Structures are given as C-alpha cells and as structure tokens.
Amino acid sequence: MSIRFVDLEKRFGDNVVLDGFSLEVPDGDITTIIGPSGSGKSTCLKTVIGLIRPDAGEVWVDERRVDTLEGDPLYEVRRTVGFVFQFAALFDSMTIFDNVAMGLRRTGELDEAAIGERVRESLDLVDLEGVEDKMPSQLSGGMRKRAGVARAVALRPQYLLYDEPTTGLDPVTVTVIDRLILRMRDELGVTSLVITHDLESAYRVSDRLAMLHQGRIRWVGAPEAIRDVDDPAVQGFIRGEPELWEEAS
C-alpha cells in the first residue's frame, strides 16, 4: 500500500505550482516534503483527498486513482486518510469532544457509547486526557494541534497527512509534536506524509526527505544524506543561501 503522485501539473492562473511532480510514499514510512513557503507543498498534499484537482497527472492511494473520483468512492478514500491541518482547523463553536467525534458520527457505524470510547482513546494517544468538554479557545496552540491529530486518527486511518505541523509553535512544543508524529507511526502503524519548511523537525521525524523545487521533486533520500548532496537547489535551501536556490535550474 502506498500513496503515489505521477507527473502532476497544477497552475493557479499564471502561477505554475506543480510541474511534473512525482513521488511515492512507502508503506509504514514517514516521508517529508521540504521546501520554502509557496513552493506547492500544501497543494500536492490536498490532491490526496480531492480538495484540489491536478490539471494533469495521477494521484493514487493504494490501487485507487483519487484524482478521477467523486461522491461515495472519493469519500471511501478519505476515510482511510487522516488530515492534520496547519492550524488544526477545529470548529470554535464545538467542544473538543465534538470536534474529535465529528467524523465518527458522520459514518454512522458506532453508537454514542462507542464514539465516546474512541474519542477518549484518541485524546489519550495525544496526551490530552480530560479536555473533552473544553472549547478550542481554552487550549494553547500546541494543544489545539494535538487535538487536530486526535481528530485525524479517530477513524483509525491507514495514512496521515500533516500540513506544516510545527508552524507557529515554540521549540519545546515543536519537539512534542515531532514525538507525536513518530508515536502515531509506531503505535497505529500509519503511513505518514509530512510537509514542512522546518528542517530540524524534518530531520527528527523522517525516514525519507523529498526536496521540492520549481514544482517537482529535486532529490529524495535519507535525512542523514542530504547535507552531502551536490545540488545547488538542495544546498541553497538547507543552508539558507537564496542565491544558490534561485540560480538552480
């Protein structure tokens, strides 16, 4: 089982975001796409669950081509994929319990007692015991992020997608979130795709890194290998040297 992107192309007006983007996310691994803000990382992530359609190319989840699906078939794929949004995307008017329970109630497969048990299990997984009756506004940014992870795993998906999971967090909370990403892989066995421009976080959590440059994957490999890559785009990004990045073609 895997997620595969094959020659994706996507533009918004005159802005070419993806241009021949191809990548495979191996089963059981944490694959992290790195690149600067605005480079198309979130766009490729959202194609996995049909929030954005590519102009060309293919997106596969297991043996299902997602970019051609609509209605119930697309919903069935979405049930296997948990999405952790950049700013948690919790509903402010709902308690944490109801936020986490939302997807479970939508499926109609569990009664309220079973939903309550699953919600508490999911919150326990992210070390948020006892917050069920609180509103999102009563939680810190890091706690809201963890509640977003709990909601994403409540349906026990095969895949987890993380959109900039450490953005806006202090260094201590970043480490908490990094450990949580590893914990979800180890305890739930999920395959994870992370997008970030936070290199230190990427080094800590990733089995593989993929460098996005000019709409396509420039390099893929183990985190410990990236510093030795002889590529100006890769070195320009990881060393923070924009001249190298901009000159790379």
Query: Which CATH number characterizes residue 16's domain?
Result: 3.40.50.300
Query: Could you identify the residue written with the tokens 């918004």?
Result: 12
State the Cα torsion 157-163-164-170 to the nearest 10°: -50
Tally of structural domains, the chain: 1
Q: Do the Cβ atoms of 1 and 27 come closer than 8 Å?
A: yes
Q: Do the Cβ atoms of 210 and 33 come closer than 8 Å?
A: yes
Q: How far is CA 47 from CA 29, 41, 134, 223, 248, in A?
A: 19, 10, 33, 25, 27
Length of the chain: 249
Instruction: Per residue of the chain (249 residues), give pLDDT as tens.
Output: 689 999 999 999 999 999 999 999 999 999 999 987 778 889 999 999 999 999 999 999 998 999 999 999 999 999 999 999 877 788 899 999 999 999 889 887 888 999 999 999 999 999 999 999 999 999 988 899 999 999 999 999 999 999 999 888 889 989 999 999 999 999 999 999 999 989 999 999 999 999 999 899 999 999 999 988 888 888 888 888 776 666 666
Q: Do the Cβ atoms of 205 and 183 come closer than 8 Å?
A: no
Cα gap 151→122, rounded to integer Å: 7
Structural domain span for residue 204: 3-248
Identify which of 101, 102, 92 has the alpha carbon closest to the alpha carbon of residue 135: 92
Q: At what angle do helices 171-188 and 112-125 cross, to 10 degrees?
A: 130
Q: At what angle do helices 112-125 and 141-153 cross, to 10 degrees?
A: 130
Question: What pLDDT sits at residue 229?
Answer: 87
Cα gap 130→32, rounded to integer Å: 32
